[in-house]
Structure 1
């Protein structure tokens, strides 16, 4: 099977991705101190040119992998998702599964080197979940795999795009 990027046709309408990182907000308190809110800014979400994403948690050791909203939209209605076996160690670019839609079938590749520790079994029962929330890492979302990341995987992040770079990439 080909990767998602090779299977997608250019989409006529521009499809914007939402940034998962929000800036920490502050406001001066009555005592002259700044109050900072906790946000997802500590989490890092990166994208590949093949339209996969990885989001690491604040600890930088665990995270989620999935396909981008752009890919899910371009693929159309997903009818089958092949999930990886767990646990399994993979290198950046290794195929970890596949997604089949009414339009095509594509491999899902790992954006970074990691160990896959769990999969989203909801996708086997309801593959259309990936269309509803492909970048949602909640229990009802369309993420594909939970991962543990070592130092090599952290270095792999350097070669990936952040949300703004990815948005520019898909608009080209």
Structure 2
């Protein structure tokens, strides 16, 4: 991805989907103004660069395959859904209006995480402020924890783990019924 960093990856049906950041690291000033979605075909090696549906988003930090086999993303304070069958974004929903996402500073590459729980809901952390659940059917967001929360992952049993206050590991049990 020319003059951008790939900061999140997901794989589905022979393609790798990568969210980018305009920041290249090492204190280098960005030359680009908007993040992109990179679609890499593993069979042919072809790359497709897709513009995000909202102009001016600088990072697409969280990318995951949702329970509906679409690509779910968090780009700053937007939830985006890319439908690979249609080859376009089908959802662009601004969430968390109250977050103070810096306009002139680099957004950290670990600032948003998104994963799927055993209950087929999406779970994420954003901007060190929230652990949340996102219903992929209704797009309803439920805040589960407020405060200093980061890094949510799912284990093989469908449990979720996240970090609170910088070092405290917590488990969130998710019912798959």
- Alignment TM-score, normalising by the size of structure 2: 0.25
Compare relative contact order (CA 8 Å, sep 6+) and give the higher one, 1 or 2.
1
The structure where helix makes up a greater share of residues is: 1
- Kindly name which structure, 1 or 2, has the bigger radius of gyration based on alpha carbons: 1
